[in-house]
Amino acid sequence: MKAAVCHEFGKPLVIEEINLAKPGPGEVLVDIRACAICHSDIFFAEGAWGGDLPAVYGHEAAGVVAATGTGVSRVKPGDHVVVTLIRSCGHCHYCRQGSEVMCEEVFARDTKGPLSGADGRPYVQAMHTGAFAERVLTHESQMVAIPKDVPFDAASLLACGVITGYGAVVNTAKVKPGHHVAVVGCGGVGLNSVQGAAIAGAGIIVAVDLADDKLEAAKRFGATHAVNPKKDDATKAIKALTQGRGVDFVFVTVGAKAAFDRAFDYITKNGTVVIVGMPPSGVMAEYDPGTVAAWNQKILGSKMGETRVATDIPELVDLYRAGRLKLDELITARYPLERINEAIAEVNAGKALRNVIVF
C-alpha cells in the first residue's frame, strides 16, 4: 500500500509502498477514505516531541472496515468507521474509571507495530494510527461505526480535533448554561471548543486570537464576542464583558507559552483554566499560586477531550446530522495523498482550519 513516510524531521514526507501486517486478535483493517491533518502530526514530523523514524503519521481518519481479526465485536466488514488514536483495554485502573484516554495497557502493537518498508525495516505507526496511508491496522477500541450517510471527510474530523475541543468543554469542564467562557486560539480545536460552549448553553463566549479571519470564523461557530490581543487588551475586554469579574472558564487550545501565562488574567473567582493545547516539550508556564488558592481557582488538563469513543462520537454524529454541530465548515481544502506536503504547508502557514487528505 502507499503511505506518506517521515524519514527525517522537518523534511517533506515521502510517498512510498510499505507493508502492512494482517489483523490479529482484536484488530481491524480499515481502508482509509479521508484523513485530516492535525497540528500534532506536524509537530511530530518536525521533531518537536521527538520519536523514532521512519514513521507514518496521521490520526484523524475515517474509512471502511476491510477485515477483522478474531474476537472483534465492535465493527464488521463493510462498516463505515471513524478511526481515532485512543486505544483502550476496558479493564485497567483508568479504564475502570471511565478514562479511556489514560489507558495503561501495553498492547502487542505497542511493542511491534504493523508497518514495515520494502526491505522489512520496521516503520513506526505514529499515535497508534498511521493514517496518512491507504490502509491502517488498529485495535477495535480505536474506532466506532457511523451511519453511511455521513461523508468521510467530515467524519474524519471527529477523530481528534472535534472531540478534543468539544470534549474539553463538555466532558472536562462540564460547562453549564449561563457559564461565561473564553477560548484562546481559534484553529480547528478552538472552534470546536467555541461550538461546544454554544451547544452547552454558555452565556458569553469570547474568542481570543491574533488572526482576524479566525475570529470571524469563531463568530460563525457561536462566539458572542471576539478579541485580537494585538489590537486590544484582552484582559480589559473580557472583564468589561463580565461586570469586572472575568469568565468562568478559559480554554487554551494553542501551545504557546504566552497563552498559558495570560489565561489566569481572564478568569473570575472560582474560575478554571483548561489546558487543551500541547506545547513542545520543555515549555513552562507561570502563575501565582497564592491567587489560585485564595480565589478558589482551578487548573484542568484535558487530553483528547476525555473522550469515550463508543459513546461520545455517536452523540456528535447525531448533533451533526441534526444541523447543530458544524463539520463541513471546518474543512478548508481536500488533497490527494500525493499532495500531502502542500496540504501540510498550508496548515503550517495558518491558511487552513483543517485540510483533509482524501483517498
Look up the CATH number of domain 2-159+327-358. 3.90.180.10
Residue range(s) occupied by CATH 3.90.180.10 in the chain: 2-159+327-358
Q: Mean of the pLDDT values across residues 240-245? A: 96
161 neighbors 36 (Cβ within 8 angstroms): yes
Percent of the chain with pLDDT over 70: 100
Distance, in Å, from the CA atom of 85 to the CA atom of 128, rounded to the nearest integer, reads: 6
CATH 3.40.50.720, the chain: domain bounds? 165-302
Q: Is it the case that residue 164 has pLDDT exceeding 80?
A: yes
Question: Is the pLDDT assigned to residue 51 strictly greater than 90?
Answer: no
Q: Collapsing DSSP states into helix, strand and coil, what is residue 61?
A: strand
Q: Which residues pair with 16 in a beta bridge?
A: 3
- What's the confidence (pLDDT) of residue 107? 92
Supply φ then ψ for residue 278, to 5 degrees.
-110, 110
As a whole number of angstroms, the distance between CA 140 and CA 4 comes to 23
pLDDT over 80 (residue 333): yes
Quick: pLDDT tens for 65-103. 999 999 999 999 999 999 999 999 999 999 999 999 999
Q: How many angstroms separate the Cα of 32 from the Cα of each of 20, 123, 141, 308, 341?
A: 13, 18, 17, 22, 18
182 φψ region: left (φ > 0), alpha (ψ -120 to 50), beta (else): beta
At residue 349, does pLDDT exceed 90?
Answer: no
Q: Closest Cα partner for 319 from 192, 233, 219? A: 192
CB 156 within 8 A of CB 41: no
pLDDT at 117: 93
% helix / strand / coil in the chain, to the nearest 5? 35, 25, 40
Q: Which uninterrupted H or E stretch holds 236?
A: helix 234-241
Residue 43 clears pLDDT 80, i.e. is over it: yes
The chain-wide mean pLDDT, for the chain, equals 95
What's the count of helices (H) and strands (E) in the chain, helices before strands? 12, 19
Mean pLDDT is lowest, of 140-144, 183-187, 286-290, for: 286-290
Class of domain 165-302: alpha beta
Q: What is the pLDDT of residue 285?
A: 85
Residue of 173, 195, 187, 305 lying closest to 247 (CA atoms): 173
Burial class (CB in 10 A: 0-12, 13-18, 19+), 51: middle
